[in-house]
Amino acid sequence: MLDSLLEVYPDAEFIFTYRDIVEALPSFISLVRALGGPAGASIDQNFIRRTTAWYRSLLERGITSLENIKKTNLVHFMDYNLLVENPLGEIRKLYDYFNLSLSSDTEKKMVDYMNNDPKKLKYGKHKYTLDEFNLTKEGVRQEFNNLTERLTLLIDA
């Protein structure tokens, strides 16, 4: 996947955001549910199994692509929770990682946008729980253990 992009764009650089699988999986299931019908629509275990398998497949493909990239400096790993907590700080790290210059004008525009983001006020926070999908932390961690270990090795490299 990414190696194909690098064949066409050899100077491409990538940002890979990640977060704890216990947070990511129910968020993904909730998103798929929302795209397929009313947010409060009931879903069955078959839907949850299929959506979990789909998420696993996407994650597997992404991790394999990252493992296949020979130059590891082309990928910046960004912790989603840190990005939410301190967006500008994480953007500064991103710019530093890729040796880019972040002008004070651009930084000001980012701050202005974050302070005036109308979507944040209009839509609020995306809410979901493991329980509503009959999932447990332990079960999710066990099911995705191999993939999270592989991802951790990439992040820590």
Mean pLDDT across the stretch 105-126? 78
Residue type, 90: E
Q: What is the number of structural domains in the chain? A: 1
pTM (global) more than 0.85:
no
Residue 39 has what pLDDT? 58
Domain of residue 85, CATH code:
3.40.50.300
Question: Exposed/middle/buried for 136, CB within 10 Å: 0-12, 13-18, 19+?
Answer: exposed
Q: How far apart are CA 140 and CA 131, in angstroms?
A: 12
What are the tokens at 103?
């002008």
Query: Residues in the chain, how many?
Result: 157
Bridge partners of 14? 75
Mean pLDDT across the stretch 55-62? 94
Using pLDDT thresholds of 50, 70 and 90, give the confidence band for residue 120. low
Q: How far is it between the farthest Cα atoms of the chain?
A: 51
Using pLDDT thresholds of 50, 70 and 90, give the confidence band for residue 6. confident
- Closest C-alpha among 135, 151, 129 to residue 27: 129
Residue type, 144: F
Boundaries of domain holding 20 = 2-156
State pLDDT tens for residues 22-58: 999 999 999 988 888 655 566 788 889 999 999 999 9
